[in-house]
Amino acid sequence: MPVKRIKMARKNLLPFMLCFFIFHMGVIPIVGAQSLTLPAKTWGICFGNAPRFNGLRFNIMDNRIETINGINITAWKANDRNAGGRVNGISLGLLPYAGDLNGIQVGLLGSGAKKNMRGINIGLIGAGAGSDMIGLNFGGIGVGAGKNMKGINIGLVGAGAGDDAMGINIGGLGIGAGNNLIGFNLGGLGVGAGDKVMGITIAGIGAGAGEQLAGLTICGLAAGAPTIKGLTVCGLALGGKNISGLSIALGSIQVRAEKGDGVYNGLAVSAFNFIKGTQKGVAVGIVNYAYRLKGLQIGLVNIVRDNPRGRTVLPIINFNF
């Protein structure tokens, strides 16, 4: 019996020592450097929070990283206070997050950067960057950037940029920019920008800009901006201080200016064309009204306030050149 026990002990000693060795080899680097890296300290495969690494890296939550090149897989979002550094390559996880992300970023919940994201940026719930997002930017609910979005920007609910959004800009409900919205702009309900909306703009309900709407603008109900240029088509109405191009609305087209110095230049087609200023070109409607006219009014009732007596109100056509 003692001989049998000695043989069994010898038989189990090798696996025990091997497990003991592997355990301690793993624990020592994790305790000392917070990471286990194979075969080298800065390249290969990493388990843990190596701040500089090239290759395949696994970590629960990044903390004060510097530069990671390769594939970075994390379980959770880095603490914003300690987030920094740069990841170049592929970032995967529930919430990939770093100072800068370059390459392909895919988060099951979301993906984000404290500063910039460049490449393919996808968050199944949302994606966002504190500064710029450049490339293909997609958020299942929303996508946004503190400064600029450039490329293909899609939020199934909404998309927005603090400064400019440029490229293909799509928001399921709405799309907006603090400054300029340029390119193909599609909002299920609305499209808007603090300064300019330019390009091809389609809004289910309305589109507006703090300074200018320019290009092809199509809205289910209304569009408005101080300056409107190009082809504008609205289901109900459109208005601004200075409008030029071809404007079509079922309800009304209005040029309003406090001092009566607004200008319409082009072709206006709606039930009621109201120009509080100078109409240059042609207005076609049921009722046409203008302060001053340099062109034609065609409709049932045509009114030009500053026309000579006898031509202030005319049926069918009114004119002044």
What pLDDT is attached to residue 257? 86
Q: Is the separation of the CB atoms in 114 and 80 below 8 Å?
A: yes
pLDDT along the chain (321 residues), means of 10: 42 38 37 74 95 96 94 91 91 94 95 95 94 95 95 95 96 96 96 98 97 98 98 97 98 92 97 97 98 97 93 94 86
Say how far apart CA 273 and CA 230 lie, in whole Å. Answer: 17
Say how far apart CA 171 and CA 141 lie, in whole Å. Answer: 9
Concatenating the DSSP letter of every residue in 29-40 gives: HHHHHSEEEEES
What pLDDT is attached to residue 12? 46
| 33-37 long-range contacts, CB within 8 A, separation 24+ | 35/59
Residue 238, Cβ density class (10 Å: 0-12 exposed, 13-18 middle, ≥19 buried): buried
CA angle 71/79/138 to nearest 5° reads 55
CA atoms 9, 15, 21, 24: torsion sign: negative
Helix or strand run (H / E) with residue 20: helix 2-33
Residue 109, Cβ density class (10 Å: 0-12 exposed, 13-18 middle, ≥19 buried): middle
What pLDDT is attached to residue 13? 37
What pLDDT is attached to residue 34? 77
What pLDDT is attached to residue 5? 43
Say how far apart CA 56 and CA 234 lie, in whole Å. Answer: 53
Say how far apart CA 280 and CA 181 lie, in whole Å. Answer: 29
Q: Is the separation of the CB atoms in 289 and 274 below 8 Å?
A: yes
Say how far apart CA 321 and CA 319 lie, in whole Å. Answer: 7
What pLDDT is attached to residue 26? 38
| 70-74 long-range contacts, CB within 8 A, separation 24+ | 72/96
Whether residue 226 has a cis bond before it, omega within 30° of 0? no
Question: Which distant-in-sequence residues (6+ apart) come within 8 Å of 313 by Cβ?
Answer: 301, 302, 303
Closest CA to 44 of 96, 36, 89: 36
Q: Is the separation of the CB atoms in 236 and 221 below 8 Å?
A: yes
What pLDDT is attached to residue 231? 98
Say how far apart CA 123 and CA 213 lie, in whole Å. Answer: 31
**Pairing mode of beta strands 43-48, 35-39:** antiparallel
CA atoms 20, 25, 28, 29: torsion sign: negative
What pLDDT is attached to residue 160? 95
Say how far apart CA 180 and CA 16 lie, in whole Å. Answer: 67
Strand partners for 184: 168, 200
Helix or strand run (H / E) with residue 154: strand 149-155
Say how far apart CA 114 and CA 106 lie, in whole Å. Answer: 16
CA atoms 8, 10, 15, 17: torsion sign: positive
Prediction pTM value: 0.83
Residue 9, Cβ density class (10 Å: 0-12 exposed, 13-18 middle, ≥19 buried): exposed
Domain locations along the chain: 32-147, 236-321
What pLDDT is attached to residue 79? 85
